[in-house]
Structure 1
Amino acid sequence: MDHTVVQFTQRLQEKGIILQASQLEQFELYYQELVSWNEKMNLTGITEREQVYTKHFYDSISLAFHLDFSGIKSLADIGSGAGFPGIPLKICYPHLELTIVDSLSKRISFLQHVCNELKLEGVQLIHGRAEDVARQSGHRDAYDLVTARAVARLSLLNEFCLPFVHKDGLFAAMKGSDPSEELAEAKFSLKELRGRLEKVESFSLPIEESARHIILIRKTALTPAKYPRKAGLPAKSPLI
């Protein structure tokens, strides 16, 4: 193993996450495919290997530092982009039934290629708008855990993501800087979408010490029939 992989492995071990050689091979192949496809389409502005391992892979897995994934069976990643945090979490926890929803078909094509190359099973890739998919049987009020990483402000994310969470399940919004302002702004949408703020976890990424925050929201009841609203409307008129 080279320095980047050694550091990555050790940092995860410190958090109680032990990766097998086959899983490390999957991460390396994921990196190679990400950089290769990024030359053809805009997937990420971060391509330097150590940066990808830290800012994409480690950052995605950080959710598992605060949640017990042994008790989580189904995960929906909304607006996943290049597959973060869903794919790194799936590599670490193969038992997860992962659903990724993204509105851009090119990104879904990339993710399908990655899943094929990494031989990931139990992954469902959906090209569509979150507002539309959340109204479909099998997705509405259906998932143990729903994630969104650097997608939008929380007042908007609540309407995108909470309809996917089953009653008593969790929505985890992964953020960078202090989300206090967003949390204050999102009080109404939380109430409307039957969410209750459980806690906010904060930490710093290794090396550069950049701030990260994970907002954990508990779903208290089934989604009201009127939500989510028609695709495009939440972004134009957030619940504030």
Structure 2
Amino acid sequence: MLNLKSLLAEHTKIDLTPVQSAAFEHYQALLLEWNQKFNLTAITDPQEMQLKHFYDSLTCLRAIPPDAKSLIDIGCGAGLPGIPLKIMLPGLKLVLVDSVGKKVEFCKIAAQELGLTDVTALHARVEDLGQDKLHREQYDWAVARAVAPLPVLAEYLLPLVCVGGSMLAQKGASAASELELANKAIRILGGGQAKVDSFELPVTHDQRALIQVVKERNTPAQYPRKAGTPSKKPLG
């Protein structure tokens, strides 16, 4: 049987505490319960959730340090990777963003049920947040998982990150080819040289990659462009 605690113990240096283990069990129960009401996630097998949702989310800790102060999760869906990261880093200020209202509602209830503090869930378009002074260049980390191609994702994430902070994109086998197409956009938006950390998930051996870009300069004021424009006309 796939078990998050044993997967982490075998393949990482992470040792879940009893409190953290209980939080993941509760979170999984909430996901399964809510998924019967509406489509939160295509992965509904409990063991598969342990690997492809929770373990996969926690691979972000290969890049994000324990003392990270703030993180915004774009296109969070059911709260992934943001909620698993918050369970592991309770001092993290977490903002979860999705354009689907029911998913945002779930994230609010999940955070409350799990006793997670300093968590905000927003029903919003990321392009609007990137031009909002309350969010623009306010975060140490901006992360996204399976949201958009990297040239588009750079325009979503880098405007939200403070200078010295990082965007982090969770990608699969297409990481290298996506990065080639995104390098110009990254430079335009204030990012430095991308760092790619490639690895495999245990058991399934699915290819994964974390693409981290440290922000070196302020993003020019015209970015992000209006909602819908980055996906229709990617920078590059």
- The residue type equivalent to 1:146 in the other structure is A
Point out 4+ residue stretches in structure 1 off by more than 6 angstroms. none
SS at match of 2:164: strand
- Paired residue for 1:153? 149
CA distance, structure 2, for counterparts of residue 92 and residue 31 of structure 1: 15
Shift of 1:27: 0.5
Unaligned runs of 5+ in 2: none
- Paired residue for 1:132? 128
Aligned-residue sequence identity (percent) comes to: 43
CA distance, structure 1, for counterparts of residue 134 and residue 206 of structure 2: 37
- For residues 122-155 of structure 1, give each alpha carbon's deviation from its aligned partner in whole angstroms, at most 9, with x where no partner exists: 1011110000011112311111111000101000
CA distance, structure 2, for counterparts of residue 19 and residue 39 of structure 1: 28
- For residues 19-63 of structure 1, give each alpha carbon's deviation from its aligned partner in whole angstroms, at most 9, with x where no partner exists: 211111110111111111111111111111110000000000011
CA distance, structure 2, for counterparts of residue 236 and residue 98 of structure 1: 29
- The residue type equivalent to 1:109 in the other structure is E
Matches within 5 A, 1:190-201: 190-201=186-197
Q: CA RMSD in A?
A: 1.2
**1:179 has 2:175 as partner:** yes
28, 46, 59: which one aligns with 1:31: 28
- Paired residue for 2:228? 232
Cα pair 2:158 2:189 within 8 Å, conserved: yes
- Paired residue for 1:207? 203
Matches within 5 A, 1:64-79: 64=61, 66-79=62-75
SS at match of 1:171: strand
- For residues 101-122 of structure 1, give each alpha carbon's deviation from its aligned partner in whole angstroms, at most 9, with x where no partner exists: 1111111001111111101101
Unaligned runs of 5+ in 1: none
176-185 or 94-103: bigger deviation: 176-185
Cα pair 2:2 2:48 within 8 Å, conserved: no
14, 17, 35: which one aligns with 1:17: 14
Using the size of structure 2 for normalisation, the TM-score is 0.96
159, 165, 168: which one aligns with 2:161: 165
